Chains A and B, each alone.
Chain A
């Protein structure tokens, strides 16, 4: 990874934010009535931050990441990447998309080395870097296998490795650990954190898992559906860091954040008058309730 100047999150820096949404609306072109996918999005992500986005299915999480990558243009408001309103693909983006995009005709090594190859890194160097990266996601023994020979979770790790190998400025991840078992998920979270720590890599991380969001994020953006919008931005500065996941989850601050975010995500489930008036809860309601009562964190 490039220069390793540690940036303390939230240190009142005056530099331009990496990502800035201002009253952003996105509508997909389509027939008939055009329903916007997301409306009134205001979000600023400064350098080095790790932002988690949670929300029910269809609320526009992937849409936001697409805008960040430059693959999708906003239809209203302004989006800025590193202070500029771009209208072409953004530079220095690493995007682990929700849909798998490994090349079936390349091996694990070839897939991980692909972005290096496209950017003219010499064969020897890219093989070395790719192999190193593969080893660090636990696929050191699988270098010459093809994606079809791997499990879903392994393929996701290949995608992660391919994204990290280029040392991007902005890391976009759309449910990258969705297919992993609980243990591996925690390991991958820790791996990701260790990779990011001490760099000024900015990350936007979409997940369905509130625990995951609270464990690895600096802040959590909670979205609500139909049309998608941001309901709450919860900064996690008061959470204890550098403790084990178990200890973290037992801290009172954690419980407070979790309760607050649940209230937002579960919408009209709350009966204390906050009454977040959204429709997403009509199909999430029961499910979220049971999940909440048994301490689960799946929210869609």
Chain B
């Protein structure tokens, strides 16, 4: 799928090239892109044709469905806005859960990271929580808050906040002591050290962890719907599955995947901007 590493290397070559070379380079790169996309589209076309051909001939339709069936089902679900309202429901749970998780995770990470003594005490507990499959606690969350949207939000929050906490905590703990000393020598207050040093220093890590955390929050929201729901894409997939409607399951999965990819590309764009600003896009 998508690569996490910024493509600074290729950009650097085109930046340093002379104008004439630059033109050649650009043309080459465009051609390269065209080739790449031609191959990708070819793969999709071949895959879908094979699928369409095999469906009903080699494998039973109710197991593998078929591209046309998926499109058909997509049209059906779109009519009356069911698909969109389910998408909205899931994204609402995921979005709120993710936001709360990011807030709690980064705040705790900063606080615990700043106070070294706290860090030393909690380190083993943090390691334990890191290894716990948090999603298994969803039944407990049902006990706490019931089965409404709140439950899905909680499951999403609870699944995704740890990875954010862990990253921000580590970034904060390992802050450059020399920078910290310099801040204190310049007469910075605790608050100024927090906002002027710790926050910017942790930003890179925060963004990286947000990108990792978002799909986790999404899984949380969907699992929440699996546990109990009458709405949402998770429910749609589960419901379709129970009616042996493979196409319906696939429509739900594809919808959620595409949405997640769009959101990831936005996060990645932000991350790349910040990485440049943070001095990681080294030039020359």
- Residue on B nearest A146 in the bound complex, by CB: B279
For the complex formed, measure the closest distance between the CB of B163 and the CB atoms of chain A, giving whole angstroms. Answer: 23
- Residue on B nearest A95 in the bound complex, by CB: B185
For the complex formed, measure the closest distance between the CB of B15 and the CB atoms of chain A, giving whole angstroms. Answer: 13
**Is residue B63 within 8 Å, beta carbon to beta carbon, of the partner chain?**
no
B185 touches A71 (CB 8 A): yes
For the complex formed, measure the closest distance between the CB of A88 and the CB atoms of chain B, giving whole angstroms. Answer: 10
SS of A interface (majority)? loop
- Residue on A nearest B186 in the bound complex, by CB: A115
Alpha-carbon distance between A71 and B185 when the two chains are bound, in angstroms: 8
**Is residue B131 within 8 Å, beta carbon to beta carbon, of the partner chain?**
no
SS of B interface (majority)? helix
Alpha-carbon distance between A89 and B186 when the two chains are bound, in angstroms: 10
Chain B residue contacts of A149, Cβ below 8 A: 283
B182 touches A118 (CB 8 A): no
Alpha-carbon distance between A146 and B179 when the two chains are bound, in angstroms: 16
B179 touches A101 (CB 8 A): yes
- A118-B188, A118-B196, A119-B187 known; A101-B283 Cβ under 8 A: no
Alpha-carbon distance between A69 and B181 when the two chains are bound, in angstroms: 10
**Is residue B77 within 8 Å, beta carbon to beta carbon, of the partner chain?**
no
**Is residue B11 within 8 Å, beta carbon to beta carbon, of the partner chain?**
no
B283 touches A118 (CB 8 A): no
Among candidates B181, B183, B192, B278, residue contacting A105 with C-beta atoms closer than 8 Å: B278
- Residue on A nearest B282 in the bound complex, by CB: A148
For the complex formed, measure the closest distance between the CB of A96 and the CB atoms of chain B, giving whole angstroms. Answer: 10
For the complex formed, measure the closest distance between the CB of B68 and the CB atoms of chain A, giving whole angstroms. Answer: 52
For the complex formed, measure the closest distance between the CB of A148 and the CB atoms of chain B, giving whole angstroms. Answer: 4
Contact with B along A108-152 (1 / 0, CB 8 A): 000000110111000000000000000000000000001111000
Within 8 A of B (CB), among A60-85: 69-71
Alpha-carbon distance between A64 and B9 when the two chains are bound, in angstroms: 43
Among candidates B181, B183, B200, residue contacting A118 with C-beta atoms closer than 8 Å: B183
Within 8 A of B (CB), among A28-85: 69-71
- Residue on B nearest A66 in the bound complex, by CB: B181
Given contacts A69-B185, A101-B182, 17 further A-B contacts (CB under 8 A): A71-B181, A91-B187, A93-B185, A97-B182, A99-B178, A101-B176, A101-B178, A101-B181, A103-B179, A103-B197, A103-B200, A114-B196, A115-B186, A118-B192, A119-B186, A147-B279, A149-B283
| 23 pairs from A and B in contact (CB 8 Å cutoff) | A69-B185, A70-B185, A71-B184, A71-B185, A91-B187, A95-B182, A95-B185, A97-B178, A97-B181, A97-B182, A99-B178, A101-B176, A101-B179, A101-B181, A103-B200, A104-B278, A114-B196, A118-B183, A118-B187, A118-B196, A119-B187, A148-B279, A149-B283
- Residues on B facing A (Cβ under 8 Å): 176, 178-179, 181-189, 192, 196-197, 200, 203, 277-279, 282-283
